[in-house]
Amino acid sequence: MNGPHDLGGQMGFGPVAPEIDEPVFHADWERRALGVTIATGAFGAWTIDESRHARESLHPATYYSASYYEIWIRALEVLLARHDFVSFDELEAGHSISQGATPKRVLASGDVAAVLAKGAPCDREVSTPPRFRPGDRVRTINEHPPGHTRLPRYARDKLGVIEAVRENFVFPDTNAHGRGEAPQRVYTVCFDGRELWGQGADPALTVSIDAWESYLEPA
């Protein structure tokens, strides 16, 4: 979706603000926000794609005025309510009112190290051969789906070159909406800076994205 998250090439946000000796967390609630987000992700009730879509679906005014972990928590509340684990009444009250749904698993402290070390690889088997090869010229599609997509706006309807053929990854556009993993080949696609940003672009700039096969057409 053309949401507030799709930031590539936008202007007006001011300078980057690196912080000397930045701590891992700036407040204790950020620690808990990270921990709760990962622990509830272990329920297996939603995918990383659904959680990304919940974040990008926040109102732009909320998204831009929220710190990053705040974005996470606001989206997590939506996910927990959508999947009947927690109701908005409970969030308002600050206490459990009724039991709600039961997750496939609850992450026990003794399992944390193994679960984090295992991660969640998203490569899958696909029987069809890759449609493109390194060096092929491609054009990205020009679509503006209302649902989740990982093709950023700045890289739509642009000419690029396939640099590398990657693994087959779960397709976010379907997976975010419970419509299946539908894995596809992913390619690293390179764009000349001037193709993306016009003649005023830095002539020594190349930008790449990782694009699912259905984002690409031969050029």
Partner 1 sequence: MSHDHHHHDHPHDNELDPFAARVKALETILTEKGLIDPAAIDAIVDTYETKVGPRNGARVVAKSWIDPEFADWLKRDATAAIASLGFTGRQGEHMQAVFNTEDTHNLIVCTLCSCYPWTVLGVPPVWYKAPPYRSQAVINPRGVLAEFGLVLPQETRIRVWDSTAELRYMVVPMRPAGTEGLGEDALAGLVTRDSMIGTGLALAPGSAAPADAGVGA
Which residues, numbered 125-144, are part of the site for partner 1 (CB under 8 A)?
A: none
Distance of CA 98 to the CA centre of its chain: 32
Nearest Cα residue to 58 out of 6, 125, 129, 134: 6
Q: Which of 2, 62, 84, 123 binds partner 1 (CB under 8 A)?
A: 123
146 binds partner 1 (CB under 8 A): no
Q: Give the single-character DSSP code of 130.
A: P
157 binds partner 1 (CB under 8 A): no
Region 159-198 residues binding partner 1, contact defined as CB under 8 A: 166-167, 169-170, 186, 188, 196-197
Region 10-39 residues binding partner 1, contact defined as CB under 8 A: 10-11, 13-22, 24-36, 38-39
205 binds partner 1 (CB under 8 A): yes
Number of residues that bind partner 1 (CB under 8 A): 96
Q: Which ranges in 42-97 belong to alpha helices (H)?
A: 48-56, 60-65, 68-82, 88-93
Q: Which of 59, 96, 137, 179 binds partner 1 (CB under 8 A)?
A: 96
Nearest Cα residue to 149 out of 64, 72, 49: 49
54 binds partner 1 (CB under 8 A): no
Between CA 80 and CA 50, with CA 99 as vertex, the angle to 5 degrees is: 15
104 binds partner 1 (CB under 8 A): no
Alpha-carbon radius of gyration of the chain: 20
77 binds partner 1 (CB under 8 A): yes
CB of 113 to partner 1, least distance (A): 7
Rounded to an integer, what distance in angstroms lies between the CA atom of residue 31 and that of residue 51? 19
Let me know: does 37 contact 45? Beta carbons within 8 Å: no
CB of 158 to partner 1, least distance (A): 12
State which residue, 122 or 138, has the beta carbon closest to partner 1. 122
